[in-house]
Amino acid sequence: MLSLLWLIIALPLAGAAVLLLAGAPPLRRLGADKWGHYLGSATVGVSFLLAVGAFFALKDRSDRHYEDQLWSFIPVGDLQVDIGLLFDPLSAVFVLLITGVGFLIHVYSIGYMADDPGRRRFFGYLNLFVAAMLVLVLGNNFVSLYAGWEGVGLASYLLIAFWYDRPSAATAAKKAFIMNRVGDVGLAIAIFVLFAQLGTITYDGVFSNVDDLSSVTITVVALLLLLGACGKSGQFPLQAWLPDAMAGPTPVSALIHAATMVTAGVYLIARANPIFSASETAQLVVCIIGAITLMIGCIIGCAKDDMKQVLAYSTVSQIGYMFLAVGLGGPAYALGIAHLLAHGFFKAGLFLGAGSVMHGMKDQGDIRRFGGLAKYMPITAVTFGLGYLAIIGLPPLSGFFTKDPIIEHAFDRPGWTGWVFGGAALLGAGLTAFYMTRLMVLVFFGKKRWTDDIKHPHESPAVMWWPMVVLAVGSVSAGYLFYRGDALSDWLAPVLGEPHEAATHKIEPGVLTATVIGVVVVAALFAAALFWRGTALQEQPVRSPFVIAARRNLYADAFNEAVLEKPGLWLTRILVYFDSRGIDGMVNGLAATVGGTSSRLRRLQTGFVRSYALTMLFGAVAVVAALVAAGWR
Amino acid sequence: MLNTVTLAADIKAPSMNYEALAPMLIVFGAGCASVLVEAFAPRAARHIVQTVLTLVALIAGFVALLFVDRDGLKTAADAIAIDTTGLFLQGTILVLGLVSVLLIAERSLTPGGEFVAHAAVAPGSTDDKKLTASVYSQTEVFPLTLFAIAGMMLFVTANDLLVMFVALEVFSLPLYLLCGLARRRRLLSQEAALKYFLLGAFASAFFLYGVALMYGYAGAVDFASIHNAVQADRGDETLLLMGLAMLIIGLLFKAGLAPFHSWTPDVYQGAPTPVTAFMSACTKIAAFGGILRLLYVGFGELKDDWRPLLIGVAILTMLVGSILAVTQQDLKRLLAYSSIANAGFLLTGALAMNKEGVSSTLFYLVAYGFTTLGAFAVVMLVRDADGEATHLKRWAGLGRRSPIIAAVMTFFMLAFAGIPLTSGFTSKFAVFSAALAGDAVSPVIVGVIASMILAFPYLRLVVLMYVTEPGESGADVHVPGAFTSAALTLGVVATLLLGVAPQPLLDLAEQASQFVR
């Protein structure tokens, strides 16, 4: 079964190739618009089955580690890059998540995109994304990871701009691509440094030789990797692209910008845990980034009125939790992965629910104009509700079993930093409960506040709601199944190290759990009380600078504009000036010189055989003279 | 009586290794048979009979080549050296010759094919007007081509200077004739043939004079004796160097290297395009086969003397070829200057004087041969009422009217420019790295600069085809017939394959870089 591992990647890749090529004029006859979505879903479905098979095969291996060298990719001097696959507990978890959730979202998209003329292209891009994401998590070296990293970046760009005739989508896609570039440069330089220092870029080679690196190098590499992770995962200070990315179709938001791609940063840090564990500074920075981001996400999430925007900021904040967890290190690595998995289920479910609501409400997303939809969309309401309960972390749903221990470990971090991180995580849990309750109540309960054009909202077709049901079941059970008896920590132990409990707790676990639940329930009830009777239909003027800041995304865009874009523009202008005056002048001058020489030399080519013969004679004299002169020397 | 016996004993027939000579003998024999076909076959049947005969002979020759012993041997009184390098070159000539014959035999583009019906009719006369419409063609092109190919095969395995000279003439004379056989623009074609003949004779005279001087120096004309004489340092060194200079001049002319290149553009432009293709692929192989053997086998000891000279020649050739290509308006002339520059690149590899030098030059010859054949095949397709439309202006907007042909031509241009994933990149990389390993840095630097300059004319054609608005005078693209399609396909596949997976051929060339002396 494990020898078929390459098929897991190859199937969606082939699907993408077929679906995208089928749009070429000579191949239109195949009529791929009619069956493309089935093919696209089937490739991912079969990949999922293969992944399940591979998972059980891996379970039977005592070392839980399988590597397969496929072929040599770049054999140049000392740089030996082989294309190889690594299937270990960590990649297994990701492969199952990507193909499983990916398959459900493919199926959902069959219904969601039914009326879109570009459905075949959409499924082609989705397949491309799945293939790239699988390359990212299945490679056994940093270059494979980088290739997949760029591949998912491309797929994300294509899918955000799927409706490229909408200026907002085109802009959002460019924004995502450019901000990711910043992070990608960090990742690339980290790989360069690793190769320069260690002469290898395989995980095996790098991680077994981390001790040879100086502590400064380790910290530098770790921070560069972190920069890459921040870009891809929408973490501070590179978080501004993720909410804009919601301009893409909702299934894309669910799959790429909630469940899988944006968690690649967490994967990177977990995968590179030997590097991060070797640098206290880097771990501290990861924690700080995670804590800041989770607060940013929560605060802005409270101020947003668009359903997908709220969910987007909640994604930012939940990934912040994951970063915080992997930054804490040790046993918390597994917690980060557990939260990632649980989040993959409930956030995908929430987004699909949002898509279902918008599908029934003529593509509106403003939660102030919803209300009372639970009666009209019961399945959506129930599945969305289960996802909601999971994200705010109420027992016995998955979010509780993953988020609560993260808060616990944050408090357990030695020194005063533990109080800061723990406090932020606890406050974040409260805020999450607040804004998610606001969303839930405004959309599904209370009075109707619909716009006039909506008469009969309807439940989505079966092909859309049953993936939501599956995801809802996952949201309920996932965290519990994985966390019970430390099953996931044990499973991941070969990669992330043996789990061991901290000997002492700052706060008694029982007390802390009760506190968390208490904060969550109070915040949720407060929000429910505040919004049960509805809300203003328009944005209200406020004086509080806090609210204004939250409405403006905490000035992240203004910050980017002032600090990066404006100086960047000036720099470009200066460079263009020098380029056109200095460099172009030189290049054009050179070209003119060559052209002029050419025109002048052409005149020697008279067409007269006598002048050719004369040239030959001169040449002959020169050759003889040169040789004889060389002999006399 | 006694005297006669002694004499008879002295003139012993040299032992011939027929197995090793079989490839050449097959092609020569087919050439003779082809002459008989001209004499006896009815006119209507000649073209098909000749085509089949020629193709079968070339394939048979290649098959026979596969069975030749590869240990390296000398035969025919040591006048012919069948070594791996020679076999590789012979095989390359046969394969690329075969592709050229496909183009020569093509008749679907214009009635009667690219060759004139009666070469003897004076251009411009009243009879001449009928010729254009005639469905016949001068099928002597086939025996001429066969003799040229056989002569080239002999040339690259010649182990003494006299045989080399004879072989040079055997393959040159048919080429002079072939150049004058164009169906359209006959005056231009005949002018090209005459120019080529006059200048070729001039160069041959240099070569022959070199042979004489060399005999004066070493008392023998075979490479082994010359090598021994040089090693023992006996005889007059001025004689030796003068002789070597003359020999080199003769070969530089055939290879189209500066300053003996001036015939190339005129001849390439005037000759029928299939013949131009044949010359740019196969003549180049033969000429460089001769240069390699002369330099490595005969005069390797003197490399300190001739290397500065040839480095200068290579630099001059690359610069002249690339700079003059920039302002060309006619596609065939452009390709001619490109072939001059490429000869410079080839010489850069050849003068490395190491094993990689030989193998990279061999590889380059194969790669360049396929690409240039393909490019000329595309030239044959773009036509108007007067035949091929070779002026660059006529190619404007071709990408819109025939995207596939434009794409194929673009691919060849990228290969010429040396873009990775095409054979052009691999082969340039190979010769440059060989030259660097052989401490010849200056031609490599100039080579890279020349490649950059050359990218301009190549890409200008691409821009013309895709970006420029087609003028009123746009030419039509004819649907290629089976032969041209086959040649084009081979050109594209080889150019791509040698760019993506060059290792097998590089390995083969590596094994083939073994001379016998």
pLDDT for A519 beyond 60: yes
- DSSP letter at B330 equals B
- Residues 452-491, chain B, touching A (beta carbon < 8 A): 453, 456
All residues of chain A having their beta carbon less than 8 Å from the beta carbon of residue B308 are: 626, 630
> pLDDT tens-digit profile of A112-171?
888 888 889 999 999 999 999 999 999 988 989 999 999 999 999 999 999 888 898 999
Mutation target vs B (from A594, A606, A608; most B CBs, 10 A cutoff): A594
Q: Does B263 touch chain A (CB under 8 A)?
A: yes
CA distance B365 to chain A (A): 25
- Return d(Cα B254, Cα B200) in angstroms, integer: 8
Query: For B500, phi and psi rounded to 5 degrees?
Result: -90, -45
Best of A590, A602, A606, A612 to substitute, by most chain B Cβ atoms within 10 angstroms, is A612
| Of the partner residues A599, A619, A624, the one whose CB lies closest to the CB of residue B327 | A599
Mutate to test the interface with B, among A597, A624, A632, A633 (most CBs of B within 10 A): A624
Q: Which chain A residues are Cβ-neighbours of B324 within 8 angstroms?
A: 598, 601-602, 605
In this structure, what token pair is assigned to residue B220?
């023998």
Contact A627 B249 (CB under 8 A): no
More confident residue, B320 or A376: B320
CB B379 within 8 A of CB B435: no
Average pLDDT of every residue of chain B: 91
- CA dihedral (B302, B304, B306, B311) in degrees, to 10, reads 150
ipTM of this complex prediction, to 2 decimal places = 0.91
> Could you tell me the sign of the dihedral formed by the alpha carbons of A464, A469, A470, A474, in that order?
positive
Residue B309, min C-alpha distance to chain A (Å): 6
Residues 6+ apart with CB under 8 A from A72: A80, A81, A82, A83
Among A616, A628, A630, select the one facing B308 at the smallest CB separation: A630
Looking at residue A541, its pLDDT comes to 75
Taking residues A157-186, report their average pLDDT.
90
Summarize pLDDT for A384-408 with one digit per residue, the tens: 999 999 898 887 788 888 888 888 8
A614 touches chain B (CB under 8 A): no
Q: Measured between alpha carbons, how far is A436 from A443 in angstroms, rounded to an integer?
A: 11
What number of other Cβ atoms are within 10 A of residue A404's Cβ? 23
Asked if B332 and B269 count as a contact pair (C-beta separation under 8 A), the reply is yes
Return all residues near A429 (Cβ < 8 A) that are at least 6 apart. A392, A393, A403, A407, A516, A519, A520
B250: which chain A residues are within 8 Å (Cβ-Cβ)? none
> Considering only alpha carbons, which residue of chain A is nearest residue B210?
A624
pLDDT at B1: 45
Nearest CB partner across the interface for B237, out of A605, A622, A631: A631
Indicate whether B457 pLDDT > 80: yes
Q: Which of B199, B238, B326 is nearest residue A616 as measured by Cβ atoms? A: B199
Disruptive mutation site among B187, B309, B311 for chain A (greatest number of A CBs within 10 Å): B309
Please report which confidence band the pLDDT of residue A527 belongs to, taking 50, 70 and 90 as the band edges. Answer: confident
Mean pLDDT of all residues in B198-224: 94
Query: According to the model, what pLDDT value does residue A127 have?
Result: 93
Report whether pLDDT(A305) > 90.
Answer: no
B309 vs A628: CB contact, 8 Å cut-off?
no
pTM of the full predicted structure?
Answer: 0.67
Distance between CA atoms of B303 and B351, rounded to whole angstroms? 9
Residue-wise pLDDT for B17-56, tens only, equals 999 999 999 999 999 999 999 999 998 899 999 999 999 9
Task: Please check whether residue B198 touches A, CB under 8 A.
Answer: yes
pLDDT at residue B2 tops 60: no
Task: Give domain limits for chain A.
Answer: 338-539, 552-602, 605-633
Q: Which residues contact B298 (CB under 8 A, 6 or more apart)?
A: B223, B226, B227
Per-residue confidence (pLDDT) for residue A133, from 0 to 100: 93
CB-CB under 8 Å, A624 with B242: yes
Whether chain B has a CB inside 8 Å of the CB on A597: the answer is yes
B262/A605 CB distance under 8 A:
yes
Out of B241, B259, B324, name the one closest to residue A631 (CB).
Answer: B241
Q: Which pLDDT tens digit goes with each residue over B163-203?
A: 999 999 999 999 999 999 998 888 999 999 999 999 999 99
Smallest Cα distance from B370 to chain A, Å: 27
Residue with the bigger pLDDT between A337 and A541: it is A337
Nearest to A419 by CA among A428, A427, A411, A408: A411
Per residue in A354-382, pLDDT (tens digit) is: 988 888 887 788 888 888 888 888 888 99
**CB-CB: which of A591, A607, A626 is closest to B309?**
A626
Residue B361 reports pLDDT greater than 70: yes
Q: In the predicted model, is pLDDT for residue A499 greater than 90?
A: no
- Report, as an integer, the average pLDDT of A41-50: 93
Question: What pLDDT is attached to residue A187?
Answer: 94
Per-position DSSP letters for B20-58, written without gaps between them = HHHHHHHHHHHHHHHHHHHHHS-HHHHHHHHHHHHHHHH
What are A464's two structure tokens? Answer: 């859309």
A605 vs B327: CB contact, 8 Å cut-off? Answer: no
Q: Which residues of B touch A595 (CB under 8 A)?
A: 326-327
Three-class HEC string of A306-342: EHHHHHHHHHHHHHHHHHHHHHHCCCHHHHHHHHHHH
